[in-house]
Amino acid sequence: MEEKMDSLRRQMAQELLGRGVIKDPRIGRAFARVPRHIFLEGVIPPEQAYFDQAVMLKYPCSSVSQPQVMASMLEILDLQPGMKVLEIGTASGYNAALLAEIVGDPELIYSVEREKDLIPTARENLERSGYGEVNVAAGDGTLGWPHREEVPFERIIITAQTPSLPPPLTDQLKEGGKMVLPLVLGEDITLLVRVEKEDGLWGRVFPCPVSFVTLRGQGLQQKKKTWERQLSGLWRGIQRYCRSFPLDSPRLWGVFLFLLKELLEHKKTERPEVLWSRWQAEGRPETGEWLLEFDREGFISGVMRREG
């Protein structure tokens, strides 16, 4: 049985490498080594643990993400050996084990889980798979790691979608550190974003639409209803004009972020057709790397385009 699981695990890792989802060989080795079936025992049959699918653990609060999405987030996180990492959302413990394998030391991984009943199983899974030294704590992940003596962290990964950055988490991110999260950018739009803390908070958007359970907690600021309506209206307008663009098209998200920049700079709600006309008039500048700027409450406050 274990030989079969080893083969399926290596096959999953090779498929992710072959499709270009994984580029860092250390991440590929982690997927080939960490036994996902142990973390999903009793939830799905062992063979299905190596399908490229998400698995719900506790509806609607917790799930184990699709391997492809997990691999993308780990690539974006830019992990290096010896880094101290905070994970928000332990779930089964599988992602924490991957983090431990990549940085080379389970003791450098700190994981917070809101659903207390999931923690005993996660700890048992980590112990059985050889990563028992991962630090797991019960608590509100939006408030960060509960023991201040372990702060700050060089990397933070949030495994639940949120419309804003929880300020307690950005406070626990080391200057020069990076945080990856699924950021809600409007109705039915969630993209992976890497936030870097360097003279403020800057986010790079990756054209990878995803779906996660929703982040909950006291550390999130009150949602800005006007902002949510503007984002949703903007997206509906873009859908009207960009139906031919696939959802993972960098050009589609270049258009979205350019129009978001215009929306923020003009400080008022504008009809999508007005924004679209402005985009056309300015030479359709959808290329280049787009960066998000965040305010102290964790909401997007600006968009800038970096050429190249």
Which residues are catalytically annotated?
Answer: 65
DSSP state of 230: H
DSSP string, 32-73: HHS-HHHHTTTTS-GGGGGSS--EEEETTTEEEPPHHHHHHH
The residues near 221 (Cβ < 8 Å, ≥ 6 apart) are 164, 167, 297, 298, 299
Tokens of 84: 């101290």
Q: Return d(Cα 89, Cα 107) in angstroms, integer.
A: 17
State the burial class of residue 105 (Cβ atoms within 10 Å of its Cβ: 0-12, 13-18, 19+). middle
Matching residue, tokens 């960009």? 242
Which pair of structure tokens corresponds to residue 223?
């949602």
Full strand arrangement of the beta sheet holding 109-113? 135-138, 109-113, 85-88, 153-158, 173-186, 189-197, 201-209, 289-294, 300-306
